[in-house]
Amino acid sequence: TQLLEQSPQFLSIQEGENLTVYCNSSSVFSSLQWYRQEPGEGPVLLVTVVTGGEVKKLKRLTFQFGDARKDSSLHITAAQPGDTGLYLCAGAEIQGAQKLVFGQGTRLTINP
């Protein structure tokens, strides 16, 4: 069974600070996706990284896929209260259904 360990589970910081969320696994994934989820809603896709070592930027968010395609990170620069939410990483299995294996999520709170 593939597992994806996401850390930290909870993070509360002040507006303007930087932060990094990590996802680690012993398994190789075909791609890794980051989602953001609001209470009572489904996850919304932020980015997909496919190639080992790939870096993608989305405004103040930087996503990186590890060289071995086993881990990923999300870095937010100058966090804003609007960044508050649940962030989920999900690795797509290489074979078969290519179903997603999710981390436990990071509950992020940005205080004004």
- The DSSP bridge partners found for residue 72 are 23, 65
CB of 65 to other proteins, least distance (A): 11
Note the Cα 23 to chain centre separation in Å.
7
Candidates 11, 105, 108, 110; binder of other proteins (CB under 8 A) is 105
- Asked if residues 24 and 106 have their Cβ atoms less than 8 Å apart, the reply is no
Smallest gap from residue 15 Cβ to other proteins (A): 25
- Under rule CB under 8 A, residue 111 binds other proteins: no
Parallel, antiparallel or unpaired: strands 10-14 and 106-111? parallel
Among residues 11, 21, 25, 33, which is the contact residue for other proteins, using CB under 8 A? 33
Coil, helix or strand at residue 79: coil
Residues in touch with other proteins (CB under 8 A)? 4, 6, 30-31, 33, 35, 40-45, 48, 50, 88, 90, 92, 96-105
